[in-house]
Structure 1
């Protein structure tokens, strides 16, 4: 029983963790992006330092070559002059310089290869960060549209209205406007009907022209046509 309870607690914690991550996915993504960008900037600085050190090593190696060449000329001159002691001393110095040169050349080769590898990794990281940034902007826009169209799935703050609520408000407003317009139209029709009734009564008494054709008007028109035909 206790084991089952522990399993239940662990399952509940896992579900709560997943729900928390889902609700705050954009915030978590933003922080992860900031962390990745910080690591990327540190890597770039480290690479810049490595490139600067590699250039310094190249300069030292070039200086070693120049110094060895200079000593070789001087030792050759000492040999020509028959000064074996100075020539040997110079040769020993050349041998030491050549040992340092060979060690520096090997180290520089490894260093250069490592810089190439670091450049490749930094370039790949930059491309991945750029892709993540584009995806983050798209996810943020999609989330904004989803919230606008459907409202928040979780409980909204009390002060925040959804699009559906705004649509309902507009619908009620339009219904009230339609009702008001219909009432005004009905009143206008009633007023017009009352005025027409009075006008008809006056016309029937011969006050002013008649408003409609009567049977006498029709008969008179037909008789007139017959007289014209004869």
Structure 2
């Protein structure tokens, strides 16, 4: 059981860590690009150092080559004068310098190989960085567009929610008004029943009881009286 709990905790920690990475993905990507640019700058500095050191060794080799040429001329001059022992000594010096020259030339060749490899790595890194920056620009543009769309969707959802709430409020007001109207009608009916006016109205409607006198009725009665012969 304890093992399962620990596994669950590790899984939760991994999910949390992944969520943090996902939420900060663009920021992490920008930092990784800056790190790559820093490493590229360091590589260029190292390239400049190698090229400088290579030039120093090349200059040294050129100097040795010049000295060997001078010694060769001196050896020839010694032979011309019959100074063979001196010519041998010069030749031995030339051999030592030639060994040193060969070593310098080998060092220069190694520098050339290292410089060429480093230049290739720098070119590849620059191309990759350029492509990566272009892709990041597209990703950022897409991210901005999606955020804008999300904001519009959220506002639209909020508007729909507000509209629905307003309709509910309007319906509640109508229901309350209808209830108030029904209550007032019921109160008026109860008041009429208590005063008897309701009963009188029903009798009148049935043609029972006193009728309302009208001017036409009075005039008709007077005309009838006038036309009646007097006894």
Q: Same fold (TM over 0.5)?
A: yes
User: The residue matched to 1:82 in structure 2 has which SS?
Assistant: coil
**What is the aligned partner in structure 1 of residue 107 from structure 2?**
107
**What is the aligned partner in structure 2 of residue 124 from structure 1?**
124
Gaps of 5+ in 2: 163-231
CA distance in 1, matches of 2:156, 2:54: 65
**What is the aligned partner in structure 2 of residue 98 from structure 1?**
98
Task: Give how far 1:163 is off.
Answer: 6.3
CA distance in 2, matches of 1:108, 1:52: 11
Q: Does 1:80 align with 2:80?
A: yes
Task: Give how far 1:167 is off.
Answer: 8.8
What are the superposed Cα offsets for residues 149-172 of structure 1, whole Å, 9 maximum, x if unpaired? 113xxxxxxxxxx66427966xx9
TM-score, L = length of structure 1: 0.65
User: The residue matched to 2:17 in structure 1 has which SS?
Assistant: helix
Gaps of 5+ in 1: 152-161, 173-230
Count, aligned residues = 162
What are the superposed Cα offsets for residues 12-50 of structure 1, whole Å, 9 maximum, x if unpaired? 011111111110001100111111110010001101111
User: What does 1:30-179 correspond to in 2, within 5 Å?
Assistant: 30-151=30-151, 164-165=154-155
What are the superposed Cα offsets for residues 42-96 of structure 1, whole Å, 9 maximum, x if unpaired? 0011011111221222222122111101110011101111123322221121011
TM-score, L = length of structure 2: 0.65
CA distance in 2, matches of 1:65, 1:166: 83
What RMSD over aligned residues (CA atoms) do the two structures have, in Å?
A: 2.2
CA distance in 1, matches of 2:16, 2:62: 64
Q: Based on CA coordinates, which of the two structures has the bigger radius of gyration?
A: 2
